[in-house]
Structure 1
Amino acid sequence: MAAENPLLTPPTLPYALPDYAAIRPEHYLPAFDEAFAQQRREIAAITRVRSMPTFENTMVALERSGELLDRVARAFYTVSSADGTPEIQEIDERLAPLVSAHHDAVQLDAALYQRVKSVHDRLDELGLTGEDRYLVERRFREMTHAGAALDDEAKARLSDLNARLATLSSTFEKHLLADTNDLAVLFETADELDGLDDGALSAAAQAATDRGHDGAYVVTLTLFTGHPYLSRLTRRDSRARLLEASRSRASRGGPNDNRDTVLEIVRLRAERAELLGAASHAAYVTSDETAGTPEAVQTMLRRLAVPAAANARREQTALQQIVDDTEPVPFPVEAHDWAYVTEKVRAATYDIDTAALRPWFEAERVLRDGVFFAATSLYGITFDERTDLVAYHPDARVFEVSNADGSPLGLFILDLYTRDTKQGGAWMNSLVAQSRLRGTAPVVVNNLNVPRPATGPTLLTLDEVTTLFHEFGHALHGLFAVTTYPHFSGTAVFRDFVEFPSQVNEMWIMWPEVLENYARHIETGDALPTDVIERMRASEAFNQGFATSEYLAAAWLDQAWHSLSAEDAAAVDDVAAFEASALAAIGLDNPAVPTRYSSTYFKHIFSGGYSAGYYSYIWSEVLDADTVEWFGETGGLTRENGRRFRERLLGVGGSKDPLEAYRDFRGRDAEIAPLLKRRGLGD
């Protein structure tokens, strides 16, 4: 079997890159079967040892186990999210309960848990320090948290719940992808898309041709509620159609409706939390995050929601005024109008047309002369495209990353463009995890969903530029972490800390020497005019009421669903009514400011690992804003600043308590004042 299956043979490509040129869909299931069996044998070998559990024969042996499974799973799930063909989706659905069952077989293994507990109970006697000691603490905490101390009957029920939840998450994702594709909006004429530039029109024309609608135009949907084109479409009926399609995803009835799936996920998560001794899923999740409790999360969200909602109302008044003053036939500003009229206000107040900035944001230049340039300036690393290495899809480009001294660091893969087989949104994942124990170097992937023009260069919006820098911040975290144990590799940190490095990396977008380097006009090569840059900076706090409110609405919705007890969750039977009630309870129910994600397309929390954790973006932004202030105080884009940030924070991966690592980097705990100032929410 191994001789015929490239997933079961030792990797031969540089950096252990999977041999995607040889891997076929039929290879995945047999590879998983063998990888499951191999790790079961490895765990059995640990628990059969009769001698006293030691750090080496238990903890290190556990870290060595599952290497094949890790390799196979990373290869498959990279593909399933970025190129989920029907065949791959079918495999994903079949795998979901199998992966869950195997995970439980390891995490809930009574004999293994007793050995880990024995090492943990003698921790002070063993003289362990640093990463070794933290490994024992975290493994014991995580196994206990997962339910390893439960009795056999409770474990059996827990495994059933986990398997069903894994299947439901896969179903949610499948429904969402299918309905997102089905709801792509068909426009018959270019007039209906007045306001879009030639590149956007050509992308829509190509999307229509791909779907068999030659001569028409198709606008595909983004994951979040507010489509970027809403700010540019001059026709109000076109904007309304686009937003209606976005908000109705997976909630229209039929085979791709996610409402029943959402309700079952919520009920089963609440039941599982109760089984594990927690009052709710949110209480269970936050107990092992930096936040500690859902009350701490909700206190922060409420503190921000009141001023954010007030700011949004003031912004709405300003929008209505400009409509009343400038439109031949004034109309009440609704959700589908907000972005469009906002651009009018921005132009009137700051003399900035964000759509007109796109010729300065050509994708390749932003990547090489912006994203890569900032990383080279700060950390000394360099990037060389490896066209000889084949990734999982022709659109995915491979770059070799080297340290300042020329030594190899890892591979970076960029998959920029949208396609029907790719999940919505943008994300980073590790295709190969760094580990000194296993002798592996990092291979990290960034996925975005930028429409590809049929012809000509790809011009990005400012939001897309921000996304590219953001996701590359995750990539840097994955590339720079140097840990012994795979358990701590790369971005394997607390969920409410993981967004911090990516948000910090956004600061370089507007940093003068970086902006000067990449923001060059596609035709003339001229730099973005200084007066435009000054106006852009002056407008950074503009529309923050809307931006903060729509984010907080989603974060609160996540908390509302996952703060339900098992009894209360069983009583909820109407998704839309629950959403409306939850948002009204925090004052974020303004119809003109819809939540960034409604439940039926809230992939982050129902299939993306952020359940009861979507608050992490704003939680991490406290650290981010405080760090940006530090960079400003210490000289900004310098190699010394990069060295400190890399070594003391990014480089530790998950091998150290994240807040301890932050204190080591910053010299103190983070303060919230910089965040409040950035968001225009000062007391």
Structure 2
Amino acid sequence: MSDSKATTSSSNNPGNKTAQNALTHWDGALGLPDFNAFTDDDFGQAFEAAFAQDLHEVEALVANEAEPTIDNVLKALQLSGKALERVSSIFWMRAGAHSNDTIQALERDVAPKMSRHYSRIMMDPLLFAKVDALYEKRDTLNLDAETLRVLEKIWKGFVRSGAKLDKSGKAELAGINEELASLGASFSQHVLKDESQWALYLDSENDLAGLPDFLRNAMRNAAEERGRADAWAVTLSRSIIEPFLTFSQNRNLREQAFTAWAHRGQNNDANDNQAIVAQMLKLRERKAKLLGYDNFAAFKLDDTMAKSPDAVMNLLEPVWEKARAKAAEEEAELTDLIIKQGGNHKVAPWDWRFYAEQVRAEKFAFDEAELKPYLQLDKIIQASFDVATRLFGIRFEEKKGIKTWHPDVRVFEVFNADGSRRGLFLADYFARTSKRSGAWMSALQSAHKLDGGQQPIIYNVMNFAKPAESEPALLSLDDARTLFHEFGHALHGLLTDVTWPAVAGTSVSRDFVELPSQLYEHWLTVPEILEKYAVHYRTGEALPKALLDKVLAAQTFNAGFQTVEFTASALVDMAFHTSPTKIDDPIEFEKQTLAKLSMPDAIIMRHRTPHFTHVFSGDGYSAGYYSYMWSEVLDADAFAAFEESGDPFNPELAANLKKYIYAAGGSADPEELYKKFRGKMPSPEAMIANRGLNK
């Protein structure tokens, strides 16, 4: 695993004060941290100093004997902990995007300390008394709507963190949270190790049968990174494993690769996550009961748009039935193709993508390999920026030669329409062994206007296959959608226009946070965007209209498979967190839950339990994976507004979209914000139709 330690003379000493300051006082180019000024060994003491400083600031707040006010309590609390916020943002970025043994050891140490630190603050009875005093008289304070919402959110955060528990309850909850933090860090590290350590090396032309050039090149590059320049490597990066399963003509190799992909975290070795999941479920259940909830799902959903497990199930169950019926039709087509080709086997999970690609090629007269030369990474990045400029008036200017956490990271300065600076956007696009799988958005620094405010520093992380040095990176259509999706999240952070940090950017309910990202995906396939940016990487020829029409016509192809994959994961997540019985064997529970759902044998969950990082590397999406579909109901309806207007860049709609969705953060109730944009709340029908499940 690679190690990106800087080695400047000012920071060779782990205890060097200057190096620790560099993690908390950023004076690098464009307002970034100076990544040359510290090493991995500096994080430990920087954290200790930041923990102490945060406690000192909170203790000063508590010691203030003046009557509690918005300024001396709420504002002071929101502005405290700046040093800890900064060192944390760099560290957790590294833990996900460019880890190594040093970072992972620190992660195992820091995660429980962080939990202990925040438990100490959030359970402080004197601090909560001040917050509670403000909350109790909130209706007499003449607060603006955003400030009132922040006060209510922070008060509820204290209560949900155990502020109202007795002494023993607080101690128990603090211990639970600390253990959950440790377990989540271990879960994530185990998945990363399974993904980075496994590779299937191919060294003969027979093994490469059916693989298009773009995939061969990516596999060669992956093998070289692992010290095997004489081979091609199938890795567990989605940008390699999925096209390999799609194109490889060798069924045995497909099975080997798929089995490794499906069993990450479940190999009965040092990286096995089964016991971790069982313990996390037990602790989450106890946490929920301590706080007065029937189960962990009820606890998590209390602060969302859905509000309750029943509301979630009322969305998922009808979609599941439609998806399963659609998948059965698709499987029958694949079975017919296998028989037609002389095969005598059922459709196995490692077969589905391979035969589905052939059915698509036959139905729509194109395949993924034909489309991919037109989807260059750099052009899709330009397309995502162009859409943002046309909708929201912002523009992006790349800045070269700026040191970040890895040489692959690209830095863009962001400007408003009037030329004023808005913030920074950083993008880390390529897969590597030091990076966890998937794609995500986060912030080194969130935007707000409190006490002079600060500008956003937002980043996206992807895992696209890195090409040979002389070749452009080519994306699949799913890759391109992923880029637009994560950039939609980035825009949510970049465009935020609120006063209080607590409601800035993506600080919204979990089932609303995916709306800006999923909605943004729609603009990728707006014909004028594809016509302009989907150009052949060798000839410069625009995507032929005939091929574009086929791509658009095929958008709902394989909808049953894709929806079953997702919805099964969401239903198992809900089952885990609503189960009335103790779950000692999570894999058996997963199996039994899927059996009750009549899960097709030929499809597995998109994220099986032992590597379901959304749910078990922390609690971000625990009892919350459904939120992608909840937001999809909103995004299908929201984009329909543009379609109904006849202009995908309708200026009036774009202005309202910016104001109420992308810029508003969590400053108002999400349902209220959506209604201000659209005039009403949607039904799931548009989403179901968009997925092609009614056909």
Residue 611 (structure 2) pairs with residue 601 (structure 1): yes
Of the three residues 453, 457, 463, the one matched with 1:443 is 457
Of the three residues 328, 332, 336, the one matched with 1:321 is 336
Q: Equivalents in 2 of 1:359, 1:414: separation in Å?
A: 22
Against the structure 1 CA distance between its residues 15 and 664, is the aligned structure 2 distance closer, same or farther, given a 3 Å change threshold? farther
- Read off the aligned partner of 2:648 and give its amino acid letter: G
Residue 610 (structure 2) pairs with residue 590 (structure 1): no
SS at match of 1:424: coil
Contact (CA 8 Å) 2:572, 2:590: kept in 1 or not?
Answer: yes
SS at match of 1:399: strand
- Read off the aligned partner of 1:479 and give its amino acid letter: L
Contact (CA 8 Å) 1:176, 1:601: kept in 2 or not?
Answer: yes
Once structures 1 and 2 are overlaid, which stretch shifts more, 672-681 or 552-561? 672-681
Contact (CA 8 Å) 1:281, 1:564: kept in 2 or not?
Answer: no
Residues 138-287 of structure 1 aligned to structure 2 (within 5 Å): 138-222=153-237, 227-287=242-302
- Read off the aligned partner of 1:399 and give its amino acid letter: F
For structure 2, the 5+ residue unaligned runs are 1-15
How far is 1:2 from its partner? 4.0
Once structures 1 and 2 are overlaid, which stretch shifts more, 605-614 or 7-16? 7-16
Residues 392-471 of structure 1 aligned to structure 2 (within 5 Å): 392-438=405-451, 439-455=453-469, 456-471=471-486
SS at match of 1:218: strand
The superposition leaves residues 384-419 of structure 1 with CA deviations (integer Å, 9 ceiling, x where unpaired) of 111142221111110001111111111111100000
2:570 corresponds to? 555
Q: Equivalents in 2 of 1:526, 1:216: separation in Å?
A: 33
Q: Equivalents in 1 of 2:585, 2:166: separation in Å?
A: 35
CA root-mean-square deviation: 1.6
How far is 1:182 from its partner? 2.3
Contact (CA 8 Å) 1:225, 1:246: kept in 2 or not?
Answer: no
Contact (CA 8 Å) 2:19, 2:37: kept in 1 or not?
Answer: no
Contact (CA 8 Å) 1:224, 1:425: kept in 2 or not?
Answer: no
Contact (CA 8 Å) 2:22, 2:37: kept in 1 or not?
Answer: no
Q: Equivalents in 2 of 1:175, 1:53: separation in Å?
A: 46
Residue 637 (structure 2) pairs with residue 622 (structure 1): no
Against the structure 1 CA distance between its residues 130 and 227, is the aligned structure 2 distance closer, same or farther, given a 3 Å change threshold? same
- Read off the aligned partner of 1:474 and give its amino acid letter: H
Q: Equivalents in 1 of 2:455, 2:164: separation in Å?
A: 35
SS at match of 2:475: coil
Q: Equivalents in 2 of 1:447, 1:560: separation in Å?
A: 30
Q: Equivalents in 2 of 1:5, 1:270: separation in Å?
A: 39
Residue 349 (structure 2) pairs with residue 338 (structure 1): no
How far is 1:26 from its partner? 1.4
- Read off the aligned partner of 2:411 and give its amino acid letter: V
Contact (CA 8 Å) 1:308, 1:548: kept in 2 or not?
Answer: yes
Of the three residues 558, 576, 584, the one matched with 1:573 is 584
Residue 131 (structure 2) pairs with residue 116 (structure 1): yes
- Read off the aligned partner of 1:233 and give its amino acid letter: S
- Read off the aligned partner of 2:653 and give its amino acid letter: N
Q: Give the TM-score normalised by the residue count of structure 2.
A: 0.95
The superposition leaves residues 51-85 of structure 1 with CA deviations (integer Å, 9 ceiling, x where unpaired) of 22111111111111111111111111111110011
Q: Equivalents in 1 of 2:389, 2:664: separation in Å?
A: 20
1:96 corresponds to? 111
The superposition leaves residues 420-466 of structure 1 with CA deviations (integer Å, 9 ceiling, x where unpaired) of 01010000001111121152100111111011122411111111111
Against the structure 1 CA distance between its residues 247 and 224, is the aligned structure 2 distance closer, same or farther, given a 3 Å change threshold? farther
Q: Equivalents in 2 of 1:679, 1:645: separation in Å?
A: 23
- Read off the aligned partner of 1:352 and give its amino acid letter: F
Residues 55-74 of structure 1 aligned to structure 2 (within 5 Å): 55-74=70-89
Q: Equivalents in 1 of 2:24, 2:181: separation in Å?
A: 28
Q: Equivalents in 2 of 1:681, 1:209: separation in Å?
A: 43
Q: Equivalents in 2 of 1:9, 1:592: separation in Å?
A: 51
Residue 378 (structure 2) pairs with residue 364 (structure 1): yes
SS at match of 1:445: strand
Aligned residues: 676
SS at match of 2:466: coil
Of the three residues 366, 375, 395, the one matched with 2:388 is 375
The superposition leaves residues 595-617 of structure 1 with CA deviations (integer Å, 9 ceiling, x where unpaired) of 10111110110014211110000
Contact (CA 8 Å) 1:224, 1:597: kept in 2 or not?
Answer: no
How far is 1:48 from its partner? 1.3
Q: Equivalents in 1 of 2:630, 2:210: separation in Å?
A: 37
SS at match of 2:663: helix
- Read off the aligned partner of 2:374 and give its amino acid letter: W
Residue 674 (structure 2) pairs with residue 674 (structure 1): no
- Read off the aligned partner of 1:413 and give its amino acid letter: L
1:652 corresponds to? 664
2:8 corresponds to? none
How far is 1:354 from its partner? 1.6
Q: Equivalents in 1 of 2:270, 2:201: separation in Å?
A: 21
- Read off the aligned partner of 1:578 and give its amino acid letter: F
Q: Equivalents in 2 of 1:6, 1:519: separation in Å?
A: 45
Q: Equivalents in 1 of 2:24, 2:280: separation in Å?
A: 37
Once structures 1 and 2 are overlaid, which stretch shifts more, 535-544 or 132-141? 535-544
Q: Equivalents in 2 of 1:70, 1:413: separation in Å?
A: 18
1:27 corresponds to? 42
The superposition leaves residues 71-105 of structure 1 with CA deviations (integer Å, 9 ceiling, x where unpaired) of 11111111111001111111111101100011111
The superposition leaves residues 354-386 of structure 1 with CA deviations (integer Å, 9 ceiling, x where unpaired) of 221111001111111x11111112112111111
Contact (CA 8 Å) 2:191, 2:611: kept in 1 or not?
Answer: yes
Q: Equivalents in 2 of 1:157, 1:17: separation in Å?
A: 39
How far is 1:14 from its partner? 5.0
Q: Equivalents in 1 of 2:404, 2:19: separation in Å?
A: 20
Q: Equivalents in 2 of 1:196, 1:21: separation in Å?
A: 41
SS at match of 1:394: coil
Contact (CA 8 Å) 1:193, 1:238: kept in 2 or not?
Answer: no
Percent identity reads 37
SS at match of 1:234: coil
Q: Equivalents in 1 of 2:493, 2:349: separation in Å?
A: 38
How far is 1:45 from its partner? 1.3
SS at match of 1:522: coil
- Read off the aligned partner of 1:308 and give its amino acid letter: A
How far is 1:252 from its partner? 1.1
Q: Give the TM-score normalised by the residue count of structure 1.
A: 0.96
Contact (CA 8 Å) 2:536, 2:543: kept in 1 or not?
Answer: yes
How far is 1:298 from its partner? 1.6
For structure 1, the 5+ residue unaligned runs are none
Residue 502 (structure 2) pairs with residue 487 (structure 1): yes
Structure 1 runs (4+) deviating above 4 angstroms are 223-226
SS at match of 1:62: helix
- Read off the aligned partner of 2:444 and give its amino acid letter: L
How far is 1:283 from its partner? 1.0
Q: Equivalents in 2 of 1:225, 1:582: separation in Å?
A: 30
2:312 corresponds to? 297
How far is 1:542 from its partner? 1.4
Contact (CA 8 Å) 1:417, 1:449: kept in 2 or not?
Answer: yes
Q: Equivalents in 2 of 1:65, 1:494: separation in Å?
A: 23
